[in-house]
């Protein structure tokens, strides 16, 4: 299973953090720091896999964002690259040509999309259309009179 998924910028600023295991706040901060240091110091044409403690770390850079996840030892790293790619595709479909700013200003939506794709560190849906439909339907539920009048609920 995936232990965590982190998104951070080239300057090391965290844009999204999803934890699939209960860890104390201090532990989480340490992991974030370790991951950003390790991944950002990697040279350009090296492989996307690392070893950290007893986890496999898989990371990929998309434009200005690094997507980094921690896996169990028996998980398939090559598939993890596909998982990260799938998530980027979902974001891209939803936001239309997604960029880092979209994720900064709409971080809660990035989480909602992720929660339709992964749960408990495992994939819950393999069909892109299915996920897109669920997120759209949930968004519809959120709409109120205010939203109709372009006044956001939050």
Partner 1 sequence: MPAPIRLRELIRTIRTARTQAEEREMIQKECAAIRSSFREEDNTYRCRNVAKLLYMHMLGYPAHFGQLECLKLIASQKFTDKRIGYLGAMLLLDERQDVHLLMTNCIKNDLNHSTQYVQGLALCTLGCMGSSEMCRDLAGEVEKLLKTSNSYLRKKAALCAVHVIRKVPELMEMFLPATKNLLSEKNHGVLHTSVVLLTEMCERSPDMLSHFRKLVPQLVRILKNLIMSGYSPEHDVSGISDPFLQVRILRLLRILGKGDDDSSEAMNDILAQVATNTETSKNVGNAILYETVLTIMDIKSESGLRVLAINILGRFLLNNDKNIRYVALTSLLKTVQTDHNAVQRHRSTIVDCLKDLDVSIKRRAMELSFALVNGNNIRGMMKELLYFLDSCDPEFKADCASGIFLAAEKYAPSKRWHIDTIMRVLTTAGSYVRDDSVPNLIQLITNSVEMHAYTVQRLYKALLDDISQQPLVQVASWCIGEYGDLLVSGQCEEEEPIQVSEDEVLDVLEGLLVSNLSTPVTRGYSLTAIMKLSTRFSSLNRIKKVVSIYGSSIDVELQQRAVEYNALFKKYDHMRPALLERMPIMEKTATNGPAEIVQTNGETESTILDTKHLPNITQPASQANDLLDLLGGNDVVPVIQTTVPTKPASAGGELLDLLGDLSLTGGPTPTPAPSVPMSQPPFLLDGLTSQPLFNDIAAVIPPMTAYNKNGLKIEFTFERSNPNPNIAVITIHATNSTEADMTEFVFQAAVPKTFQLQLLSPSSNVVPALNQGSVTQVIRVLNPQKQQLRMRIKLTYTHKGSPVQDLAEVNNFPPQSWQ
Q: Identify the residue among 30, 37, 64, 122 touching partner 1 (CB under 8 A).
A: 122
**What are the Cα distances from residue 34, in Å, to 28, 52, 82, 130?**
10, 9, 23, 35
| In the complex, minimum distance from the CB of residue 11 to partner 1, in angstroms, rounded to a whole number | 13
Contacts of 68 (CB under 8 A, 6+ apart): 5, 6, 7, 8, 35, 39, 57, 58, 59
Number of residues that bind partner 1 (CB under 8 A): 52
Q: Identify the residue among 12, 20, 38, 40 touching partner 1 (CB under 8 A).
A: 20
- Angstrom distance (rounded) from CA 4 to CA 28: 10
Question: Does position 64 bind partner 1 by CB under 8 A?
Answer: no
Site residues for partner 1 per CB under 8 A: 14-17, 19-20, 22-24, 29, 45-51, 76-79, 81-83, 86, 104-105, 107-108, 111-112, 115, 119-120, 122-130, 134, 137-138, 141-142, 144, 152-154
């Amino acid at each position: 299973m995936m232990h965590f998924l982190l998104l951070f910028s080239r300057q090391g600023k965290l844009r999204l953090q999803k934890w699939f295991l209960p860890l104390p706040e201090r532990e989480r901060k340490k992991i974030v720091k370790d991951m950003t240091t390790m991944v950002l110091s990697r040279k350009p044409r090296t492989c996307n896999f690392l070893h950290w403690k007893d986890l496999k770390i898989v990371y990929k850079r998309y434009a200005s964002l690094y997507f980094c996840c921690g896996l169990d030892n028996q998980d398939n790293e090559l598939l993890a690259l596909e998982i990260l790619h799938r998530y980027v595709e979902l974001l891209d479909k939803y936001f239309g040509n997604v960029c880092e700013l979209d994720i900064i200003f709409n971080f809660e939506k990035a989480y909602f999309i992720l929660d339709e794709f992964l749960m408990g560190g495992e994939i819950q849906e393999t069909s892109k259309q299915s996920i897109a439909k669920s997120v759209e339907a949930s968004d519809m539920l959120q709409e109120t009179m205010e939203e109709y009048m372009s006044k956001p609920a939050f």
